[in-house]
Amino acid sequence: MSLRPFHLAFPVHDLAAAREFYGAFMGCREGRSSDHWIDFDLYGHQIVAHLDPAMTPRPIHNAVDGHDVPVPHFGIVLTMPQWEQLAQRLKDAGVKFGIEPYVRFKGQVGEQATMFFTDPSGNALEFKAFADDSQLFAT
């Protein structure tokens, strides 16, 4: 069975800033759009930035492997080469990381490369990769 693309709609306070962030920094191809929303192709998945000029992010944080992980957040599980390429592209673009790229749970079940950052509207994103994809749901 092959996975089907997921769809995620999320609020942003500024569509131009979202277009710059997801298009230029993240490398997402833009799809349909209007004055109130923009479709983006995030590694084959459809994410839609919807305008909410009054939005005020209220993230909470949970401790994971010694870091404060923002909740809610979203992202993609990439291959290790894709993750390394994205981490470098974001560093080169000067994106500020909430949690710098590193390997979490090193030497343990579920070892993974991860990084956290926010878009201009404060939406938290996590991108991760596993050296062994079978570890994704390992306990």
- Each domain of the chain, given as residue ranges in start order, spans 7-51, 61-135
Which CATH code of 3.40.50.10320, 3.10.180.10, 3.60.20.30, 2.40.33.10 fits the domain covering 7-51? 3.10.180.10
Q: What is the pLDDT of residues 91-134, one digit of tens each?
A: 999 999 999 999 999 888 889 999 999 999 999 999 999 989 98
Please say whether the beta carbons of 96 and 117 come within 8 A: yes
pTM of the model: 0.89
Asked if the domains 7-51 and 61-135 are classified in one and the same CATH topology, the answer is yes
pLDDT of residue 1: 53
61-135 carries CATH number 3.30.70.250: no
Give the phi and the psi of residue 8 in degrees, each rounded to 5: -135, 125
Q: What is the pLDDT of residues 51-80, one digit of tens each?
A: 999 988 777 899 998 889 999 999 999 999
Measured CA angle at 10 (ends 69, 32), to 5 deg: 135
Please say whether the beta carbons of 81 and 37 come within 8 A: no
- In sequence order, the β-bridge partners of residue 97 are 117
Here the tokens at position 46 are: 């459809």
